[in-house]
Structure 1
């Protein structure tokens, strides 16, 4: 997948790959699974084809998708980013098996 991101974006840093992965996820489960199985298949997606025609090297690099969960949390609870991350931390600690794996 990184090679596909590199080709589409004209380069790809670690941070850029996170944004690329978010863009692929935003395409939906079917495309996400297709890309995982065969990243070259991404060349068949209409968005990628159009981006190639337009020389748009930013397509699929969707940083904002990385923040969807925290924004939804804000809208539902009225909490802010700090509250979201605290809730995630609390959830992670109460997850089944987490405490047992740590030996506590």
Structure 2
């Protein structure tokens, strides 16, 4: 039987936070987390934000789903599909400040 080595989740998050901060040490950086539905992106994004804070940097975590258009403006359909993102609002709230 072969023993597989796997780093602890916290170690992996710390290493990723260190790499992000190394490459983007000045100003604001945007990090997007993507993946198939139900793959744990929200929990991973929360944990990564915590690792960045632990490294001594501010982190703000937002979800694209917070910027969906209302139903009456082309939002989610009756079949429960996610609402299209309102790019103008996302830019105004997250990027421009």
Shorter-chain TM-score category? Answer: under 0.3
Greater per-residue helix proportion: 1
Q: Of the two structures, which has the highest relative contact order with CA contacts closer than 8 Å and spacing of 6 or more?
A: 1
What TM-score do the two structures reach when normalised by structure 1?
0.25
What TM-score do the two structures reach when normalised by structure 2?
0.26
